[in-house]
Structure 1
Amino acid sequence: MARLPIRLYRAGLGPLFGKRLLLLQHTGRLTGLRRQVVLEVVAHERYDDGLSWTVASGFGPAAAWYQNLRHSPRTTVQYGNRRYTATAHFLSPEDGGAIMARYAPEHPRLVRRLCSFMGFEVDGSEAAYRHAGQRIPFVRLEAPPERHPA
Protein backbone atom coordinates (compact mmCIF):
# COMPACT_ATOMS: atom_id res chain seq x y z
CA MET A 1 0.00 0.00 0.00
CA ALA A 2 2.84 2.38 0.82
CA ARG A 3 4.19 1.97 -2.74
CA LEU A 4 0.83 2.73 -4.37
CA PRO A 5 1.71 6.38 -5.15
CA ILE A 6 4.83 5.19 -7.02
CA ARG A 7 2.67 2.85 -9.11
CA LEU A 8 0.27 5.68 -9.87
CA TYR A 9 3.14 7.88 -11.07
CA ARG A 10 4.43 5.03 -13.25
CA ALA A 11 0.94 4.67 -14.75
CA GLY A 12 0.99 8.34 -15.77
CA LEU A 13 -1.39 9.42 -13.03
CA GLY A 14 0.98 11.84 -11.29
CA PRO A 15 -1.36 14.81 -11.90
CA LEU A 16 -3.83 13.22 -9.45
CA PHE A 17 -1.56 14.42 -6.65
CA GLY A 18 -1.68 18.03 -7.80
CA LYS A 19 1.13 20.16 -6.40
CA ARG A 20 1.32 18.28 -3.08
CA LEU A 21 3.53 15.32 -4.04
CA LEU A 22 6.46 14.51 -6.31
CA LEU A 23 8.25 11.33 -7.34
CA LEU A 24 11.95 11.46 -6.54
CA GLN A 25 14.33 9.08 -8.28
CA HIS A 26 17.61 8.59 -6.46
CA THR A 27 20.59 6.27 -6.71
CA GLY A 28 21.30 3.81 -3.91
CA ARG A 29 24.62 4.77 -2.34
CA LEU A 30 25.53 1.13 -1.63
CA THR A 31 23.89 -0.71 -4.54
CA GLY A 32 24.04 1.91 -7.28
CA LEU A 33 20.46 0.92 -8.20
CA ARG A 34 17.79 3.48 -9.08
CA ARG A 35 15.27 3.96 -6.28
CA GLN A 36 12.03 5.90 -6.10
CA VAL A 37 10.08 7.58 -3.33
CA VAL A 38 7.04 9.85 -3.28
CA LEU A 39 7.50 12.93 -1.08
CA GLU A 40 5.29 15.79 0.00
CA VAL A 41 6.22 19.16 -1.45
CA VAL A 42 6.59 21.77 1.28
CA ALA A 43 7.31 24.63 -1.14
CA HIS A 44 7.41 25.00 -4.93
CA GLU A 45 9.03 27.97 -6.60
CA ARG A 46 9.78 29.25 -10.08
CA TYR A 47 12.90 31.36 -10.62
CA ASP A 48 14.32 32.65 -13.92
CA ASP A 49 12.48 29.83 -15.73
CA GLY A 50 14.00 27.29 -13.34
CA LEU A 51 12.00 25.32 -10.79
CA SER A 52 12.59 24.24 -7.23
CA TRP A 53 10.78 22.00 -4.78
CA THR A 54 11.44 21.83 -1.06
CA VAL A 55 10.85 18.52 0.71
CA ALA A 56 11.35 17.38 4.31
CA SER A 57 12.72 14.10 5.58
CA GLY A 58 10.04 12.99 8.03
CA PHE A 59 12.28 10.09 9.08
CA GLY A 60 15.17 12.46 9.74
CA PRO A 61 18.66 12.17 8.28
CA ALA A 62 18.50 8.35 8.47
CA ALA A 63 15.98 8.14 5.59
CA ALA A 64 17.48 6.18 2.69
CA TRP A 65 16.50 8.76 0.05
CA TYR A 66 18.08 11.54 2.12
CA GLN A 67 21.34 9.64 2.60
CA ASN A 68 21.37 8.68 -1.09
CA LEU A 69 21.00 12.32 -2.13
CA ARG A 70 23.80 13.27 0.26
CA HIS A 71 26.00 10.77 -1.57
CA SER A 72 24.79 11.68 -5.07
CA PRO A 73 22.83 14.97 -5.25
CA ARG A 74 22.01 14.76 -8.98
CA THR A 75 18.52 13.34 -9.35
CA THR A 76 15.32 13.22 -11.36
CA VAL A 77 12.02 14.61 -10.14
CA GLN A 78 8.62 13.81 -11.61
CA TYR A 79 6.10 16.51 -10.83
CA GLY A 80 2.73 15.77 -12.36
CA ASN A 81 3.55 14.13 -15.70
CA ARG A 82 6.79 16.03 -16.31
CA ARG A 83 10.28 14.90 -15.44
CA TYR A 84 13.06 17.27 -14.46
CA THR A 85 16.76 16.80 -13.86
CA ALA A 86 17.50 18.39 -10.51
CA THR A 87 20.25 18.88 -7.96
CA ALA A 88 19.66 18.48 -4.22
CA HIS A 89 20.71 21.30 -1.89
CA PHE A 90 20.60 20.61 1.83
CA LEU A 91 19.18 23.48 3.82
CA SER A 92 20.52 24.85 7.08
CA PRO A 93 18.61 24.37 10.34
CA GLU A 94 17.77 28.09 10.29
CA ASP A 95 16.27 27.78 6.81
CA GLY A 96 14.35 24.70 7.95
CA GLY A 97 12.93 26.62 10.89
CA ALA A 98 11.77 29.45 8.64
CA ILE A 99 10.20 27.01 6.18
CA MET A 100 8.34 25.18 8.94
CA ALA A 101 7.11 28.46 10.46
CA ARG A 102 5.61 29.43 7.05
CA TYR A 103 4.26 25.95 6.28
CA ALA A 104 2.60 25.18 9.64
CA PRO A 105 -0.26 27.73 9.42
CA GLU A 106 -1.13 26.46 5.92
CA HIS A 107 -1.18 22.76 6.94
CA PRO A 108 -1.69 22.66 10.73
CA ARG A 109 -2.92 19.05 11.04
CA LEU A 110 -0.21 17.63 8.82
CA VAL A 111 2.52 19.54 10.67
CA ARG A 112 1.19 18.45 14.08
CA ARG A 113 1.23 14.80 12.92
CA LEU A 114 4.74 15.11 11.49
CA CYS A 115 6.04 16.73 14.67
CA SER A 116 4.33 14.12 16.84
CA PHE A 117 5.71 11.29 14.69
CA MET A 118 9.21 12.71 15.05
CA GLY A 119 8.79 13.15 18.82
CA PHE A 120 8.65 16.96 18.85
CA GLU A 121 6.35 18.77 21.26
CA VAL A 122 4.59 21.69 19.59
CA ASP A 123 2.07 24.02 21.17
CA GLY A 124 0.90 25.64 17.94
CA SER A 125 3.11 28.69 18.28
CA GLU A 126 5.39 29.93 15.52
CA ALA A 127 8.38 29.55 17.86
CA ALA A 128 7.57 25.87 18.47
CA TYR A 129 7.24 25.16 14.75
CA ARG A 130 10.41 27.08 14.00
CA HIS A 131 12.27 25.03 16.64
CA ALA A 132 10.91 21.75 15.22
CA GLY A 133 11.81 22.85 11.68
CA GLN A 134 15.40 23.42 12.77
CA ARG A 135 15.61 19.73 13.67
CA ILE A 136 13.97 18.34 10.50
CA PRO A 137 16.23 17.93 7.45
CA PHE A 138 14.93 19.93 4.49
CA VAL A 139 16.15 19.54 0.91
CA ARG A 140 15.64 21.93 -1.99
CA LEU A 141 15.58 20.21 -5.38
CA GLU A 142 16.53 22.69 -8.08
CA ALA A 143 15.96 22.22 -11.81
CA PRO A 144 17.73 25.01 -13.70
CA PRO A 145 16.21 26.19 -17.00
CA GLU A 146 18.77 24.39 -19.18
CA ARG A 147 18.08 21.07 -17.47
CA HIS A 148 14.29 20.76 -17.55
CA PRO A 149 12.25 18.97 -18.69
CA ALA A 150 14.34 15.81 -18.68
Structure 2
Amino acid sequence: MTDRDTAPHRPQLPTGWRRLALRLPILLFRAGLGPLFGKRLLLLHHIGRVSRLDRMVVLEVVSYDPAAGSWTVASGFGAEADWYQNLREQPKTLIQFGNRPHAVTAHFLPAEEGAEIMAGYARRHPRTARRLCAFMSLPVDGGEASYREAGRAIPFVRLDAAERHARHGRGHA
Protein backbone atom coordinates (compact mmCIF):
# COMPACT_ATOMS: atom_id res chain seq x y z
CA MET A 1 0.00 0.00 0.00
CA THR A 2 1.40 3.41 -0.95
CA ASP A 3 0.86 6.86 0.52
CA ARG A 4 -1.38 7.54 -2.47
CA ASP A 5 -3.68 4.66 -1.54
CA THR A 6 -4.28 6.30 1.83
CA ALA A 7 -4.85 9.88 0.62
CA PRO A 8 -6.99 11.69 3.19
CA HIS A 9 -9.79 12.79 0.88
CA ARG A 10 -10.87 12.51 -2.71
CA PRO A 11 -12.50 15.74 -3.85
CA GLN A 12 -16.06 15.55 -5.11
CA LEU A 13 -16.39 15.53 -8.88
CA PRO A 14 -17.94 18.80 -10.07
CA THR A 15 -21.51 18.89 -11.34
CA GLY A 16 -23.72 21.45 -13.05
CA TRP A 17 -22.16 24.73 -14.11
CA ARG A 18 -18.83 23.86 -12.44
CA ARG A 19 -18.50 20.77 -14.61
CA LEU A 20 -19.38 22.84 -17.67
CA ALA A 21 -16.74 25.43 -16.71
CA LEU A 22 -14.12 22.70 -16.35
CA ARG A 23 -15.08 21.24 -19.74
CA LEU A 24 -14.93 24.61 -21.55
CA PRO A 25 -11.15 24.41 -22.19
CA ILE A 26 -11.75 21.20 -24.19
CA LEU A 27 -13.96 23.16 -26.57
CA LEU A 28 -11.33 25.89 -26.84
CA PHE A 29 -8.61 23.33 -27.68
CA ARG A 30 -10.87 21.70 -30.27
CA ALA A 31 -11.56 25.12 -31.81
CA GLY A 32 -7.82 25.62 -32.37
CA LEU A 33 -7.39 28.01 -29.45
CA GLY A 34 -4.96 25.85 -27.44
CA PRO A 35 -2.22 28.52 -27.66
CA LEU A 36 -4.36 30.75 -25.41
CA PHE A 37 -3.30 28.53 -22.50
CA GLY A 38 0.42 28.98 -23.14
CA LYS A 39 2.46 26.24 -21.52
CA ARG A 40 0.07 25.84 -18.55
CA LEU A 41 -2.53 23.42 -19.98
CA LEU A 42 -2.66 20.45 -22.33
CA LEU A 43 -5.45 18.38 -23.84
CA LEU A 44 -5.10 14.68 -23.06
CA HIS A 45 -6.89 12.02 -25.09
CA HIS A 46 -7.54 8.74 -23.30
CA ILE A 47 -9.51 5.61 -24.09
CA GLY A 48 -12.34 4.70 -21.72
CA ARG A 49 -11.67 1.45 -19.83
CA VAL A 50 -15.25 0.27 -20.23
CA SER A 51 -16.63 2.19 -23.20
CA ARG A 52 -13.44 2.03 -25.32
CA LEU A 53 -14.43 5.51 -26.57
CA ASP A 54 -12.02 8.40 -27.03
CA ARG A 55 -12.22 10.73 -24.04
CA MET A 56 -10.60 14.11 -23.44
CA VAL A 57 -9.55 16.09 -20.41
CA VAL A 58 -7.61 19.33 -20.04
CA LEU A 59 -4.87 19.13 -17.42
CA GLU A 60 -2.53 21.66 -15.89
CA VAL A 61 1.12 21.12 -16.82
CA VAL A 62 3.09 20.91 -13.58
CA SER A 63 6.39 20.88 -15.43
CA TYR A 64 7.46 20.86 -19.05
CA ASP A 65 10.86 19.83 -20.40
CA PRO A 66 11.05 20.76 -24.10
CA ALA A 67 14.53 19.24 -24.49
CA ALA A 68 13.35 15.85 -23.21
CA GLY A 69 9.91 16.17 -24.82
CA SER A 70 8.04 15.50 -21.58
CA TRP A 71 5.15 16.99 -19.65
CA THR A 72 4.31 16.22 -16.03
CA VAL A 73 0.70 16.41 -14.85
CA ALA A 74 -1.01 15.70 -11.54
CA SER A 75 -4.32 14.06 -10.77
CA GLY A 76 -6.18 16.51 -8.53
CA PHE A 77 -8.91 13.89 -8.10
CA GLY A 78 -6.40 11.25 -7.01
CA ALA A 79 -5.71 7.81 -8.46
CA GLU A 80 -9.46 7.26 -8.88
CA ALA A 81 -9.75 9.86 -11.66
CA ASP A 82 -11.04 8.27 -14.86
CA TRP A 83 -8.26 9.70 -17.05
CA TYR A 84 -5.62 8.39 -14.62
CA GLN A 85 -7.10 4.90 -14.51
CA ASN A 86 -7.58 4.91 -18.29
CA LEU A 87 -3.90 5.77 -18.79
CA ARG A 88 -2.95 2.96 -16.41
CA GLU A 89 -4.68 0.55 -18.77
CA GLN A 90 -3.56 2.22 -22.02
CA PRO A 91 -0.43 4.38 -21.41
CA LYS A 92 0.23 5.18 -25.09
CA THR A 93 -1.95 8.10 -26.14
CA LEU A 94 -2.09 11.58 -27.67
CA ILE A 95 -1.91 15.05 -26.20
CA GLN A 96 -2.35 18.48 -27.70
CA PHE A 97 -0.02 21.17 -26.41
CA GLY A 98 -0.79 24.54 -27.95
CA ASN A 99 -1.94 23.52 -31.42
CA ARG A 100 0.51 20.65 -31.83
CA PRO A 101 -0.44 17.01 -31.30
CA HIS A 102 2.10 14.67 -29.70
CA ALA A 103 2.06 10.89 -29.35
CA VAL A 104 3.09 10.18 -25.74
CA THR A 105 3.59 7.36 -23.30
CA ALA A 106 2.47 7.81 -19.69
CA HIS A 107 4.84 6.96 -16.85
CA PHE A 108 3.43 6.88 -13.33
CA LEU A 109 5.86 8.48 -10.92
CA PRO A 110 6.77 7.13 -7.49
CA ALA A 111 5.72 9.05 -4.38
CA GLU A 112 9.24 10.34 -3.67
CA GLU A 113 9.48 11.85 -7.14
CA GLY A 114 6.04 13.38 -6.56
CA ALA A 115 7.39 14.99 -3.37
CA GLU A 116 10.21 16.65 -5.34
CA ILE A 117 7.86 17.79 -8.10
CA MET A 118 5.37 19.31 -5.66
CA ALA A 119 8.08 21.15 -3.74
CA GLY A 120 9.36 22.68 -6.99
CA TYR A 121 5.83 23.51 -8.14
CA ALA A 122 5.10 25.24 -4.82
CA ARG A 123 8.21 27.41 -5.25
CA ARG A 124 7.12 28.43 -8.79
CA HIS A 125 3.37 28.76 -8.10
CA PRO A 126 2.78 29.17 -4.34
CA ARG A 127 -0.86 30.29 -4.52
CA THR A 128 -1.91 27.59 -6.98
CA ALA A 129 -0.06 24.93 -4.95
CA ARG A 130 -1.87 26.04 -1.79
CA ARG A 131 -5.23 25.90 -3.60
CA LEU A 132 -4.54 22.44 -5.04
CA CYS A 133 -3.63 21.08 -1.61
CA ALA A 134 -6.71 22.68 -0.01
CA PHE A 135 -8.90 21.24 -2.79
CA MET A 136 -7.50 17.78 -2.02
CA SER A 137 -7.77 18.32 1.78
CA LEU A 138 -4.00 17.95 2.12
CA PRO A 139 -2.69 20.06 5.01
CA VAL A 140 0.13 22.45 4.11
CA ASP A 141 1.67 25.18 6.22
CA GLY A 142 3.51 26.87 3.37
CA GLY A 143 6.78 25.15 4.20
CA GLU A 144 8.64 22.94 1.75
CA ALA A 145 8.32 19.86 3.98
CA SER A 146 4.52 20.09 3.96
CA TYR A 147 4.48 20.39 0.16
CA ARG A 148 6.75 17.37 -0.12
CA GLU A 149 4.34 15.41 2.07
CA ALA A 150 1.42 16.53 -0.10
CA GLY A 151 3.36 15.53 -3.22
CA ARG A 152 3.69 11.99 -1.88
CA ALA A 153 -0.12 11.74 -1.83
CA ILE A 154 -0.78 13.28 -5.27
CA PRO A 155 -0.47 10.96 -8.27
CA PHE A 156 1.89 12.47 -10.86
CA VAL A 157 2.25 11.27 -14.44
CA ARG A 158 5.06 12.08 -16.86
CA LEU A 159 4.03 12.08 -20.52
CA ASP A 160 7.02 11.36 -22.76
CA ALA A 161 6.77 12.27 -26.45
CA ALA A 162 7.27 9.22 -28.67
CA GLU A 163 9.02 11.11 -31.49
CA ARG A 164 11.58 12.64 -29.13
CA HIS A 165 12.53 9.26 -27.69
CA ALA A 166 12.65 7.57 -31.08
CA ARG A 167 15.12 10.21 -32.34
CA HIS A 168 17.37 9.83 -29.31
CA GLY A 169 17.16 6.04 -29.04
CA ARG A 170 15.37 6.15 -25.70
CA GLY A 171 12.70 3.49 -25.78
CA HIS A 172 10.32 2.56 -22.97
CA ALA A 173 9.04 -0.84 -22.04
State the TM-score bracket (shorter-chain normalisation). over 0.9
What is the Cα deviation at residue 127 of structure 1? 0.3
Matched, 1:51 2:69: yes
Whole-Å separation in 2 of the counterparts to 1:65 and 1:73: 10
Matched, 1:76 2:94: yes
Matched, 1:91 2:104: no
What is the Cα deviation at residue 3 of structure 1? 1.2
**Aligned partner letter, 1:20:** R
Whole-Å separation in 1 of the counterparts to 2:22 and 2:156: 22
Whole-Å separation in 1 of the counterparts to 2:120 and 2:66: 18
What is the Cα deviation at residue 97 of structure 1? 0.1
Matched, 1:38 2:58: yes
Identity %: 63
**Aligned partner letter, 1:143:** A
Whole-Å separation in 2 of the counterparts to 1:62 and 1:20: 23
Q: Deviations over 1:8-40 (max 9, x none)?
A: 000000000000000000000111000000000
**Aligned partner letter, 2:108:** F
| TM-score normalised by L of structure 2 | 0.81
Structure with the larger helix share:
2
Q: What pairs with 1:101-116 in structure 2 (closer than 5 Å)?
A: 101-116=119-134
Aligned residue in 2 for 1:137: 155
What is the Cα deviation at residue 105 of structure 1? 1.4
| TM-score normalised by L of structure 1 | 0.94
Report the secondary structure of 2:106's partner residue. strand
Displacement over 3 Å in runs of 4+: none
Matched, 1:17 2:37: yes
What is the Cα deviation at residue 95 of structure 1? 0.2
What is the Cα deviation at residue 43 of structure 1? 0.4
Tell me the C-alpha RMSD between the 2 structures.
1.1
Q: Deviations over 1:74-114 (max 9, x none)?
A: 11010000000000000000000000011101111111111
Aligned residue in 2 for 1:126: 144
